[in-house]
Structure 1
Amino acid sequence: MGMNKELEARVDAYVDEVWEDVVRDIAQIVSHPSVVDAEDAAPGAPFGANVRAALDCGLGIAERLGYATGEDDGYLGWGDIPGERSTQVATIAHVDVVPAGSGWVTDPFRVERRDGWLLGRGVADDKGPAVLSLYAGAFFLHEGITPRYTFRALLGCDEEVGMSDVHHYLETHDDPAFLFTPDASFPVCNAEKGCFGGRFASAPVADGTIRFWSGAEVSNAIPGESVVELAVDASELPAPAAHVDRLRIEAIRPGVARIVARGVGGHASMPEGTINAVALIVDYLAEIHDLLAPAEQAYVELLDVLTEDAYGEAAGVASANEAFGPLTLNAGKIVMHEDGRIVLSVDIRYPDSTSGRELEARLSALASKYDVAFEVSSTKSPFSVSAEHPAVQALLDVYREVTGEPAEPFSMGGGTYARNFACAVSFGPEGDASELPDWVGPMHGANEGASEAALRQALKIYILALVRLQELDL
C-alpha cells in the first residue's frame, strides 16, 4: 500500500499550521516539575500536586483541541474522539518525569529553543511525545473526519516510578484493540526486556569512615554525579590513581573530606556511552581500602563487582539472546542511612534467556559472599507482540513510506507502558543518543533535548499511522 499523496499533503499542511502551537504546548507542560512525590499525595492527586498540575495541563491542551476528556481519580487522564464504533485505538504517553539531577546548563523546567532543538526535562521523555499524540489525533477533528474506531489519547502519571497509574486504570477499563506509546525509538519496538530491581544493604557501621554517599536519585538512571564524604582529613587522601580528570577531593573541615565524581549520566537500559559516577567513587575507595572499616571494605568489594561492567558479567548474571539482546545492570542509586548502613539499588533489564528467579538466586549468593543483605524490590517479565500482527506491520509501513528507510521491529531494555496492555508496542520518536550535539543530553540525563525536525516528522508519522490503523479489522 503506497502513500496517498492527497492525504500526505493535507497532513503536511496541518503540521505546518499547528507547529508553533505544538512547541508552545510542550513548553507549557514541561514547566511543571512533575516528579512523582508519594509524600505529597492527595485525593485526586495520588502522585503529588506537581504531577496533577502537569496532567491538568495536558487535559487542557486536549480540551482546546476538541477532545472529550476524562480521568481516573488523578491516576491518568484521556482525551477521546468518538468513532463509528466504541472499539478503541489508543496512544499513551506520560506526563511524569525523572528528577532533573545535576549538570544542566539551562533551567530544566523551562524549554529553551536553540538551533533546531528543544531543551528541557521531558521534551523527549515523554512530554514532547505526549503533546504530539494529542495533535496527531486532533487531525481527525481538524479535517472533520469521524474515525471508524474511537481514538483515545491516554496521559499517564506514574510511568517513571511504578506504572501504578495504568494498573489502576485497567482495573475498571477495557484494553484498547491496539495501542502504541510514543516512548521509544523508531521504527517499532515490539519486545521489551524484563525489569528486575534489587537492593544491597551493608551491615550497620557505628564509627565507619564513610559518612555520606549519593548517586542517582532514581535507580533507572545512570548517575552522572556521585559524592562521598569520609571521616578522613583531606591531606591524608592520596591523589586518584585512575579517573584523575573525573574525581575531585575537597577538604570540608579538619578530619572530613569530600570526593566528587563526575560521570556521564543516562538511562539505565542504555549504558553505551555513559560513565557511572558511583563506579568512579568505588574505584577510588578501592584505592584507599585500608582506611575503611571491615564492613565497609566488604561492601566496597561487592560494589566493585557490581560496577565493573554494565552487563552483569562480573556479577555472574550476564545473559543475551537474538530476540532481546544483552542483559544490562545499573548500580545507580545509593543511600547512606543514619545507622551507618549503605544501600545500593540495582536496575536490571533482562532477556527471556534468564528469569527473575535466576537473577534473585545469583545476586543473593553474591551478596552473601560479602556478608551483605540482598532483597528484590520489583520484577516484571519480558513481553512481546508478534512482528506479524497487522497493526505492527501498518506502523512499519508508514515509517518506511515517510522516511524512505528500511524498518524492522526491535527489542529494547527500557520498560514502557506497552508491556501492561494486551496488544501494544512502542513507536518512536526518540533519536539515537550517540548522534546528539555535545550540548544536548539524552533522556534521563542533564540537558535532555529533542530535535524539532525529528518531532515534526514524528507528528506526521503518527497522524498517518492513526489513519492507517483505522483501516484495519481490529
Structure 2
Amino acid sequence: MTDFEAVNWLEEVTKRQDELLADLFHLLRIDSVRNDEKADADNPVGPGPRKAMEEFLKLAERDGFQTEQFGPWAGRVEIGEGDELFGILGHMDVVPVGTGWDTDPFEPEIIDGKIFARGSSDDKGPTVAAYFALKLLRDMGATFNKRIHLIVGTDEESGWQCMDYYFDHAEMPDFGFSPDATFPIINGEKGNVSAELTVQAGTQQEGDLALEHFAAGLRPNMVPQDAQAELTIEAAGFDGGAFLRAYNTYLDNHDLQGEASIQDGTISMDLVGKSAHGSTPEKGVNAGTHLARFLAGFTYTANGADEFLRFLGEIVHGNFDGASLGVDHEDAVMGEVSMNVGIMEFAPAKGGHIDINFRYPKGTNPDQMLEHIQDRLLQFSQIEVTMGEFKKPHYVPADDPLVATLLEVYHKQTGLEPHEQVIGGGTYARLMPRGVAYGALFPDSTDTMHQANEFLALDDLLRATAIYAEAIYRLSR
C-alpha cells in the first residue's frame, strides 16, 4: 500500500514522462482555433475545438475513466465518491496562431527543453498535467472521499458558451481550481468587459487621402501583432515620397518593422508589433494603434476615417490603464484597470469597428465605465459606444481552506514563499463560488500565452503535474 505522505511526487511524474508527452503531443497536433466559417449545429465554434475535446475524452476512456460528453461543447472525466464535488476546469480551444512563428504551431517540438506549440501553455499542457495527476493517483491506489469532475471546454478563448451549456446540464462544483494561469495561486480575477465602438463612415470633406481599408487584431483578448492599411491619394499635390520617408522614420524611431509602397495612387501599408495577452497589454506592442497614430497626422476625405484614426492614434494609443477614457480605477487588493485595444477595422462602406477590452477590479462597473467613455466621445461626432456582456470581479479570500491548502502544497514542493495573487486574465475558476486558478506557470517561467512561439518548459510541465497530484490528493481526502 502506497504511503502517500512519503511520495516523491516529482519523481513519480518523471518516471512517466514519455507517457505524459505522448498524450499532450496528440492533443497539440489538433488545430483547435475557433473557426466561425466552418461552424454549424454540430460544431458551433468550428470542428477543431470539438475534435480536441473528444480526443481528450478518448484518452480518458482508454485509461479506464468514466467520461461524459455534453453536446458539442464540453466533456467530463469522473472519479471518486462523496457528497462534495471537486471541480478541475480546463479548455481545449486555443487562440489564433497569428504570425511570427519559427516552428509549425500544430506540430509540437521540444527545443532547448521547451515544448513549442499553440496551446502548450494555454491550456492543453496544463489541462493534460491535471489529468495525468489524477491518473497517477488512481494508478497508485489513491481513494477519494469526494467526487472529482475534470471538465474541459471548447470556447474559453472567446465566449465561454461551452460552460454556459455545461452548467445548464450539469452540477456546479462546490470548490475547485483551473490549471490555466500561474503559481502560487490566483484567488482573484478582475471583471471583464469590452467597449464596442462603431464609427460612421461620415460626410465627405476635403483631404489628402481616402482610407479604403484598415485592419488589426484577431481577438479582443490579444494585443494586435499585425496591422494593414490601404489608402488612395486624393490631393493632386500630395507628396508620396515624403509620406514613405516619414513612415520609415516613424518605424525607426519606435523600433518597429513594417513596409509601405505606392502604386497607381494607392498606398499599401503594414506594421508588425508584438502580441501579448489582452490582460497585460503593456507587455505587447499594439500594431494597430501605432499605425493609426502615424496615419492620424494626415487629412482624409471622410470625417469618419479621420475620427477613427484620431481616436486610435491620439486618444487610446499607449494607454493601458484606461485613463485616457476616464475609466482608470484602482482597488487595494485587486489592482488597476487594464485596457487593450484588441480589434480595429475600417472600410468606407461599413465605417469602423473598435473593440476595447477592459479588466476591472472591485469598485467600478461597466455602467460607470460607459458614462466616462461617452463623456470622452463628445469630441467625436461619428463615434458611438456600447458595452458588451461582462463578467464580474471574482475573489476567494486568502484564508479560505482551499486557498490555504493549495498554497501549502506549492510551498512544500517548491520551497518558495506562497502568496495570493489577482490577475486581469479570466479563467473558468471564476465560475465556481470557491474557485481559483492554480498554475501551470511558475514565477520564473516565461509567459508566452497568446504570443507567437508559445511554449511550456518541460521542467515546468513536470513540476506542475507533481503539484497537481499532491493537491488533488490533499483536497479529496
Q: Tell me if TM exceeds 0.5.
A: yes
Q: Which moved more, 1:31-40 or 1:450-459?
A: 31-40
- Aligned residue number for residue 18 of structure 1: 16
Comparing 203-212 with 90-99, which one deviates more in the overlay? 203-212
Q: Do the aligned partners of residues 415 and 27 (structure 1) sit closer, same or farther apart at CA in structure 2, a change above 3 Å counting?
A: same
Q: 1:247 to 1:143 in 2, by over 3 A?
A: closer
Match of 1:447 among 443, 450, 453: 453
The answer to whether the Cα contact below 8 Å between 1:116 and 1:452 also exists between their aligned partners in 2 is yes
- 2-structure distance, mates of 1:234, 1:94: 49
- Aligned residue for 2:281, secondary structure, equals coil
1:427 paired residue among 438, 448, 471? 438
Partner of residue 77 from structure 2, selected from 49, 58, 79: 79
How many angstroms does 1:365 deviate by? 2.4
Structure 1 residues 158 and 418: CA distance shift in structure 2, 3 A: same
Say which of 303, 314, 337 aligns to 1:294: 303
Tell me if structure 2 keeps the 8 A contact 1:234–1:249: no
Deviations 1:46-80 (A, max 9, x none): 32211111111111221223211111112100111
In the alignment, what sits opposite 2:385? Answer: 374
Verify: 1:396 aligned to 2:386, yes or no.
no
For 1:158 and 1:147, the matched residues in 2 are separated by 30
Aligned pairs (5 A) from 1:212-291 = 212-232=213-233, 234-235=240-241, 237=243, 238-240=245-247, 241-244=249-252, 245-251=255-261, 253-287=263-297, 289-291=298-300
SS at match of 1:144: coil
- What is the DSSP-based 3-state SS (H/G/I as helix, E as strand, rest coil) of the residue aligned with 1:25? helix
Distance 1:5 1:403 in 2: 21
Number of positions where the alignment pairs a residue of Structure 1 with one of Structure 2: 461
Are positions 1:308 and 2:308 aligned together?
no
Q: Which residue of 2 aligns with 1:89?
A: 86
Task: Find the aligned partners of 2:226 and 2:273 in 1 and give their Cα distance.
Answer: 6
Shift of 1:204: 1.4
* Residues in 2 aligned to 1:357 and 1:253: alpha-carbon distance in whole angstroms: 47
1:9 and 2:19 are equivalent in the alignment: no
- Residues of 2 paired with 1:5 and 1:231: CA distance? 74
Gaps of 5+ in 1: none
| Aligned alpha-carbon RMSD (Å) | 2.1
> Residues 119 and 449 of structure 1 are in contact (CA less than 8 Å); yes or no, is this contact kept in structure 2?
yes
1:266 Cα deviation from its structure 2 partner: 0.4
What does the per-residue CA deviation read over 1:410-459, in whole Å, with 9 as the maximum and x for residues that have no partner? 111001111112221100112458x63xxxx7110111111111111000
Distance 1:116 1:203, change over 3 A: same
The 8 Å contact of residues 234 and 251 in structure 1, kept in 2 or not, is answered as no
Partners of 1:11 and 1:463 within 8 A in 2: yes
Residue 48 (structure 1) aligned with residue 58 (structure 2): no
Q: SS at 2:474's partner residue?
A: helix
Q: Write the letter of the residue equivalent to 2:418.
A: A
Specify the code of the residue in structure 2 equivalent to 1:419.
R
**What are the Cα deviations for residues 321-356 of structure 1, in whole angstroms up to 9, with x where unaligned?**
221111111112112346141211111001112111
Q: What pairs up with 1:123-202 in 2 under 5 angstroms? A: 123-202=120-199
The residue aligned with 2:236 is none
8 Å CA contact 2:257, 2:273 repeated in 1: no
d(CA) in 1 for partners of 2:258, 2:45: 37
CA distance in 2, matches of 1:94, 1:260: 33
Equivalent residue in structure 1 for 2:346, among 336, 342, 365: 336
Distance in 1 (alpha carbons) for counterparts of 2:144 and 2:4:
18
Partners in 2 of 1:71 and 1:8 — Cα distance? 36
- Paired residues of 1:137 and 1:151 also in contact (CA < 8 A): no
User: TM-score, normalized by length of structure 1?
Assistant: 0.92
Is the 1:249–1:257 Cα contact (8 Å) retained in structure 2?
no
Q: Which amino acid aligns with 2:56?
A: G
Aligned partners of 1:194 and 1:327: how far apart in 2? Answer: 9
My pick for the range that moved more, 183-192 or 300-309, is 300-309
Q: Distance in 2 between matches of 1:178 and 1:151?
A: 10
Determine what percentage of the aligned residue pairs are the same residue: 28
Q: Deviations over 1:245-267 (max 9, x none)?
A: 41533225221112221111100
Give me the whole-angstrom Cα distance separating, in 2, the residues matched to 1:459 and 1:377. Answer: 37
The letter of the residue matching 2:24 is I
Distance 2:274 2:369 in 1: 27
What amino acid is aligned across from residue 251 of structure 2 in structure 1?
H
Other-structure match for 1:409: 420
> Match for residue 321 of structure 1?
331
- Equivalent position SS for 2:59: helix
- 8 Å contact from structure 2 (residues 293, 310) kept in 1: no
